[in-house]
Structures are given as structure tokens and as C-alpha cells.
Amino acid sequence: MFFDVEWEHVFLQLRFGDQYSALSRPGLDPARFDLYMLAMRLSLVAGPLRLLDGDFPHRSVMQEIAEHNAKEALALLIS
């Protein structure tokens, strides 16, 4: 599957955090980047919550992931 370059760079930024600057590239559309960051954060809330609907064994870990990404998504909307 192919995605927009901004989608890929959102994943890279989430994955590599502070080291992302070595991978960043000029010319990315900031509005698309922000939209995809919000979409990825919301996905990282929805996925763990779906697992919590079942009998997932490590519930606290999934709860922490969902809560962290919910806070990050809200921060994106506020800023």
C-alpha cells in the first residue's frame, strides 16, 4: 500500500521521537501532516480500546496507550 509522504513521516515521528529530525524532510505540507497526526493518534486510541472490549491479558498497558494518545490528540486540537 502507498500512503502520502506526510502519513509516512507522521509514523516516523511517532516511532523515532527525538531522533526524527535526522529523518525529516523539507517540503511536507504542514496541514496534511497535522491532519494525519490527529488521525494516527485517534487510531492509537481506538485500537487499544477495541482490545479492552475483549479479554486482552495486559489491560493496564492498553489503557495507558489509549490514555496517552487521547491526551496527545486533545493537545493537537487545542494548539
pLDDT of 9-53, one tens digit each? Answer: 999 999 999 999 999 999 999 999 999 999 999 999 999 999 999
- Angle, CA of 14, 44 and 49, to the nearest 5°: 155
Under the banding of pLDDT at 50, 70 and 90, the label for residue 2 is low
Is the overall model pTM greater than 0.85, yes or no? yes
DSSP state of 19: G
Task: Write down the pLDDT at residue 63.
Answer: 97
In whole angstroms, what is the distance from residue 76 CA to residue 30 CA?
A: 13
